[in-house]
Amino acid sequence: MSYPAIGKSLESKGFKLRVKEPGFFYASFMIRHNLISGEVDLLQKRVPQSVFVRHYLKENPIELRDRTIEALRELEKSL
């Protein structure tokens, strides 16, 4: 689900949003659903991948993918 799709869904339910609010909502939601802030930064492309991989990524990327997909499914249900 893209940021614009999240924004449109929230707007249709009566939430007024500024341009960056879907990104903030997404990041907060992902952190509440078992992703750490460094992983969310990577998903939102806020950290160059080489820096992240060298210094922060200490787990299996497949596990990160699975947790991300699970959280995204929860996000879709809540919208």
What pLDDT is attached to residue 14?
85
**Beta carbons of 31 and 40 less than 8 angstroms apart:** yes
Region of residue 16 (phi > 0: left; psi between -120 and 50: alpha; otherwise: beta): beta
**Beta carbons of 6 and 25 less than 8 angstroms apart:** yes
What pLDDT is attached to residue 35?
85
pLDDT in tens, 55-70: 766 667 788 888 888 9
**Beta carbons of 35 and 63 less than 8 angstroms apart:** no
| Domain boundaries along the sequence of the chain | 3-78
pLDDT in tens, 27-48: 888 888 888 877 888 788 776 6
